[in-house]
Chains A and B, each alone.
Chain A
Amino acid sequence: MLRDAAEGTTVADYSWPEPDRRGQIGRGPARLDGAVKSTGFARYPSDRNPPGLLAAKILTCPHAHARVVRIDTAAAEAIPGVRVVQVIQGEGSEIQWAGDEVAAVAAETDDIARDALRAIQVEYEVLPHFVTEEHRERAPVAEPGSERTDGDPDAAFASAHRTVEQTLGMPQMAHMCLEPHGQVASWDGDELEVHASTQAVSTLAGQFASELGIPATQVRIRTEYMGGGFGSKFSPDRWGIVGAELAREAGAPVKLFLDRDQEVSVAGSRPSAFARVRVAADEQGRLVAWDSDSWGSGGLPGAGQTPLPYVFSRLPNRRLRHTSVPTNLAGARAWRAPNHPQACFLTMASLDDLANELDLDPIEFLDRNLEFTGRADVYREELGIAAGMAGWKERWQPRKRSRDSALQRGLGVSIHTWGGRGHASNCDVTVHADGAVEARIGSQDIGTGTRTIVAQVLAETFGLELPQVRVSLGDNRFPQSGPSGGSSTVGGVSASTRRAAQDALREVLARVAPELGAAPEELAAAGGRVFVEGEPSRSMSWTEAASRIGGAPVSAQGRNPGPGRLISSGVGGVQIAEVEVDMETGVVHVERMIAVQDCGLIVNRRLAESQVHGGLIMGVGYALFEEWIPDPVTGRLLNADMEFYKLAGLLDVGSLEVHMMTGPGYDERGVIGLGEPPVISPGAAISNAVANAIGVRVPYLPLTPDRVLDALAGRGGIA
């Protein structure tokens, strides 16, 4: 226990156990919900079928820009089995993107609801649209942002040894959550219960309440499982509010989940990013200046400046200009590591080309410039490890200029950073007299393993095994915990749980201390027993100890932020890609990805590796396959589906090798989030590997065969 001088009270010492005393932390137990997920017994929000359930569907606007002139729902209302028809955007509404919601129907079955949508007559006045922001010169509205200059880039460029300049870019892409956005809403009087596919269990109720005009105390949110969010599921969305309204009007529960075309078109995309980049180095291969004129779009809201130059943010001479280009497409949402994959690609591809101009090995070039980053030591250590894993020294060769063979291999490298500090979180831990231990926390497990992490922290603290503890989450009646975004969950929940658990344990120890003839702070819990430190014979089983607490359970609430060094933020990572390119067809295959990643103290090694694998695989997806393809003529997406919007498949991803930085220098930093970092570098690393393989830069992601062949033919720049 420590004395808090300011308060004059005793505050507890909250910390993680020393490495040799860890029972759970750092191990790799299987995720607790693996069995229910693998057997299909897990009930996702979209799986709920309460009695009397109605199915709801949404009529969307087929035009990218239009005004609703007339809408007639009479025929739809007359269809047997149709219960409610609601106009969402009525006559006079101006619609700004194809796929925006115009009307909704609740009916007895999905098929009847679809019949009703077809029966709704809408007359539109079609207005001009713009959906192809890579041609920013054609944009009807473009908002030049502020220009910012640091140092003297002009002088630095003038005296530089080597300069490269080119235009690079990557288009908008979709979140493509497999469980679409949506919810089952049901009313009991004026109490609303929503089973929502959300990343934000604790914050949704207030948003539903204000839209629906009821107190937030009357809104219950439940999310036991959910099928992926990646940054796109933080709000109730219009379809959430409409679903609740339909349920209220119909007097029956309503299930409303988006169809796949809506999901792809309106329920989440990552902004595009394009830039004319100029970057220069001196004779020693040290960066001297950066100049970028960037633009991008996240649909109607446009898109802000990405953090350029990425990672090398201490580069002294630089000029940044940015133009936000609004389009008639649905607004972008936070996509796993917002802005970072784009900034990483624009920067690391430029630096890779500069290294090539300098005749330098790109790893050597990065290494010479690490003092411009915030984590030089970490990157240096990671670059060494990654290079070793890749056999870089023996296998890397300068860019190939010959086409001696139809299949060319190449290696590419990229580095990235992220914050990942734990969010605000509260957790209740209860110890029952039978020894059962439970944590209740208003968080959500979006697939990262939050449930398992909380259980491990509980078991660690009480010296128990995982089956002896219980975790309840996914309910806004539990203590509020932050939304799962920005890799903030693992830090938030592990810290709040640890504090609550340590407090509850101390309470139990205080009750049994007299019996063991020791002071409470001399006691410890491990291996299912409570014992006097250093004298394991003076002990009792956990069950015995818990039985001494009497009738009322012991319970404690832990918070984050709070005292003690449990979490931290700021990580660095290095990735190396190895590709094979077919020079005749332009097809790129990723042979191998190496990820070296720091994330502080790892709670579950297996889940951590799975997060990195997931990031790499999503990265291969956006590097090679994924893009929104808007049709300039109709303004609609040409690939709002899963046939032509390609996700990486099982055998597209090559072999993935992960090295997590652990041990001294890393562990003592505490827990740091890991969801975002590994998805940042793949686009850059793979693009660099392709340039290394074929001798020229393909300036655009994804690296589709046509773009590769264009680059080989000396065509295909952007602007």
Chain B
Amino acid sequence: MSDEAKGSGFSRRSFLRGGAAGALSGGLAAGLLPEDAAAAAAPKDVDGVPTVGPGPVEVELEVNGVVRRLEAEPRVTLLDALRDHLDTTGPKRVCDRGACGACTVLEDGHPIYACSRLLIESAGRSITTVEGLGSPDAMHEVQQAFVENDAQQCGYCTPGFVVAAAALLARNPRPGEREIEAGLGGNFCRCGTYMGILGVVGAPGHAAGRSGGDHGG
């Protein structure tokens, strides 16, 4: 456990009191343990280990630019918190165990599987879901590219792919096959929209790319 997470230095609790701006600076260590986040929820000491739960605890985090506070059991996943408690249903629950990518969100800018993160691990963090990237009237360029490349059929895998693709392209605007594998290999589609998705990320041989293609004919 890092010092800052223990509460010395940059205190999670004071950060939360002071609003979320600090979260966006990326100054926090990634992958905090549940105990760290518990600082936000009045931890008890059990055998010298700070512990929360099993009852509901209060957690604050930023979702799509808005600070949200909710009370939930420590076992609640970030995905269930988003979908069931905060009515942010863009991220989908498909496998619920880190095997499909449909729940992909950004945590402090990094793509993660929301089904495989506890809400309390994300306390104090900034979460961006597919809805936070853009809206139908003001789409993110990656979302626009999904439309232009027809990279969705039923669309249930799409939110996860959009977020993962946006993260990939933010890291590397011209990813090669290896980067694409690393960036999108954890997402699966059942309808078979991969040609469109490869077009979105500008894979060689998949023409349209983010500028889109006139398919009007």
Contact = CB atoms under 8 A, between A and B. Distances in A.
A365 interface: no
B31 to A, nearest CB: 22
Contacts of B139: 35, 38-39
A43 B89 contact: yes
A110 B84 contact: yes
Interface stretch (A224-232, A348-356, A470-478, A512-520): A224-232
B133 interface: yes
B207 to A, nearest CB: 12
Contacts of A149: none
A192 B193 CA distance: 35
A447 B157 CA distance: 11
Contact of B156 (A33, A109, A178, A656): A178
Nearest to A26: B217
Instruction: Name the residue among A40, A228, A259, A647 with the largest chain B CB count within 10 angstroms.
Output: A40
Interface residues of A, number: 63
Contact of B192 (A34, A55, A618): A618
A618 B139 CA distance: 29
B87 interface: yes
Contacts of A47: 83, 89
Contacts of B198: 650
A696 B84 CA distance: 53
Contact of B134 (A39, A46, A614): A39
A176 B190 contact: yes
Interface string B141-155: 001101110111111
B159 interface: yes
Contacts, number: 194
A651 interface: yes
A34 B215 contact: no
B158 A37 contact: yes
A34 B146 contact: yes
Contacts of A633: none
B73 A610 contact: no
A69 interface: no
A613 to B, nearest CB: 5
B131 interface: yes
B181 A613 contact: no
B185 A37 contact: no
A225 B158 CA distance: 13
B5 to A, nearest CB: 26
B136 A36 contact: yes
Contacts of A177: 156, 190
Contact of A649 (B93, B96, B188): B188
Contacts of A228: 153-154, 156, 190-191
B181 A650 contact: yes
A30 B92 contact: no
A119 B143 CA distance: 44
Q: Chain A's interface: helix, strand, loop or mixed, by majority?
A: loop
Interface string A160-189: 000000000000000011111000000000
B99 interface: yes
Given A39-B133, A610-B193, A650-B185, A178 B216 contact: no
Contact of B135 (A41, A447, A641): A41
A31 interface: yes
A616 B157 contact: no
A718 B93 CA distance: 38
Interface in B54-105: 73, 75-76, 80, 83-84, 87, 89-97, 99-100, 102
B83 A38 contact: no
B154 A446 contact: yes
Nearest to A643: B99
A49 B95 contact: no
A111 interface: yes
A44 interface: yes
Contacts of A648: 194
A57 B86 CA distance: 21
A27 interface: yes
A35 B147 contact: yes
B73 A111 contact: yes
A31 B108 CA distance: 32
B37 interface: no
B155 A37 contact: yes
B195 A34 contact: no
Contacts of A230: 190
B154 A617 contact: no
A575 interface: no
Contacts of A26: 217
Contact of A39 (B135, B148, B192, B194): B135
B147 A27 contact: no
B195 A642 contact: no
Contacts of B158: 37-38, 40
Given A35-B136, A651-B177, A227 B92 contact: yes
A642 B133 contact: no
Nearest to B196: A610
A178 B92 contact: yes
B129 interface: yes
A261 to B, nearest CB: 10
A234 B216 CA distance: 34
A29 B131 contact: no
Interface in B146-182: 146-148, 150-159, 162, 177, 180-181
B51 interface: no
Contacts of B89: 40, 43-44, 46-47, 49
Contacts of A259: 96
A605 B90 CA distance: 28
Contacts of A29: 215-216
A607 B135 contact: no
B216 A38 contact: no
Interface string A581-611: 0000000000000000000000001110110
A27 B216 contact: yes
A642 B188 contact: yes
Interface in A641-664: 641-643, 647-651, 653, 655-656
A448 interface: yes
A551 to B, nearest CB: 33
A625 to B, nearest CB: 11
A569 to B, nearest CB: 23
A230 B156 CA distance: 14
6 contacts: A34-B147, A40-B89, A178-B92, A178-B94, A606-B215, A648-B194
Interface of A: 26-31, 33-44, 46-47, 49, 55, 109-111, 176-180, 225-228, 230, 259-260, 446-449, 605-607, 609-610, 613-618, 641-643, 647-651, 653, 655-656
Interface of B: 73, 75-76, 80, 83-84, 87, 89-97, 99-100, 102, 129-131, 133-136, 139-140, 143-144, 146-148, 150-159, 162, 177, 180-181, 184-185, 187-198, 205, 215-217
Given A178-B94, A641-B95, 16 more contacts: A26-B217, A27-B215, A27-B217, A28-B216, A41-B135, A111-B76, A177-B190, A178-B154, A178-B189, A227-B154, A643-B99, A648-B194, A649-B185, A650-B180, A650-B184, A650-B194
The 6 closest A-B pairs by CB, nearest first: A40-B90, A227-B156, A447-B154, A614-B192, A617-B192, A37-B155
